[in-house]
Amino acid sequence: MPAPAFIAKAAVSALLLPPTNALILILAGLWCLRRRPWLGRSLIGIGVTSIYLLSTPLLANALMQALEPPPVSAKALAESTAIVCLGGGKRFGAYDEPGGEAVNNATLVRLRYCARLARQSSLPVLVSGGAPVGGIPEAGLMATTLHDDFGITARWVEAGSDDTADNARLSAQMLLPHYRRIILVSQAWHLPRAMQAYRAAGFDVRPAGTDYANREPFSVLSLLPKDRALYASSVAMRELIGQLWYNIRRS
């Protein structure tokens, strides 16, 4: 059973992000139509327009790219003391795997890049991720995948975290003070918020992004709504809201 705090955070996130936030505007507009027709039509128009725009690859990719740091440099890799790979989720019902659970595609992409950096640098690796919705902790699945599929053995397995802030706090307990300068591996769009959390926990962070947003040339297809684009816009907005929340908590 997920923790109440985890459920509450997920519920608030769902209300603030597309498409739910746009649907709330549309419903509010419908409710206002009789009493205040101008306001009702305006809210409906804003809701419909926002869903369309956020569903276009043009806007979705722009939002993603605004979050993404440059690729990690060889100098940053040479100056670091450890690699931290963040979990990005797992699959339940993975009947092709022992135990019926496996890392999802987002986590697999992170592990692949983590393994490449580990081979290049010979730095020790920490994998981080708990089990906020139950089952096998992500970090355990990550360590197994990293070893069996990529030939890299994780030195540390942080399996108690529920979110990025927990990742940072519990990683600090394992790594500090001896491994303060870290390479932080995640999807490029996730790194600005993750870096905030790890710096607040006492680390000197070098971001190592992977899975960058698509940068295909502009065409009419960039203006056609797609479900994947709406998902990408939602992810980007979640990260921006998360950064804002971190800044409010620290102020």
d(C-alpha 143, C-alpha 136), whole Å = 12
The pLDDT, as a whole number, for residue 147 is 98
**3.60.15.10, 3.40.50.620, 3.40.50.10420, 3.40.630.10: which CATH number matches 71-210?**
3.40.50.620
Give the confidence band of 3 by pLDDT, cuts at 50, 70, 90. Answer: low
- Residue 235 reports pLDDT greater than 90: yes
Question: Using the 8-state DSSP alphabet, how is residue 189 labeled?
Answer: G
Q: Where are the alpha helices (DSSP H) in 98-155?
A: 105-121, 138-150
The residue whose two tokens read 């300068």 is 181
Q: Do residues 142 and 109 make contact, with C-beta atoms less than 8 angstroms apart?
A: no
d(C-alpha 78, C-alpha 195), whole Å = 19
pLDDT tens column, 140-198:
999 999 999 999 999 999 999 999 999 999 999 999 999 999 999 999 999 999 999 99
Average pLDDT over residues 47-68: 96
* Residue among 185, 241, 235 at smallest CA distance from 61: 235
AA identity, residue 24: I
pLDDT tens column, 113-137:
999 999 999 999 999 999 999 999 9
* pTM exceeds 0.75: yes
d(C-alpha 210, C-alpha 72), whole Å = 10
Average per-residue pLDDT for the chain:
94
Helix then strand count (H, E) for the chain reads 10, 7
Give the confidence band of 13 by pLDDT, cuts at 50, 70, 90. Answer: confident
Domain spans of the chain?
Answer: 4-66+227-250, 71-210
Average pLDDT over residues 81-108: 95
* Residue among 240, 197, 242, 247 at smallest CA distance from 65: 240
Contacts of 169 (CB under 8 A, 6+ apart): 161, 201
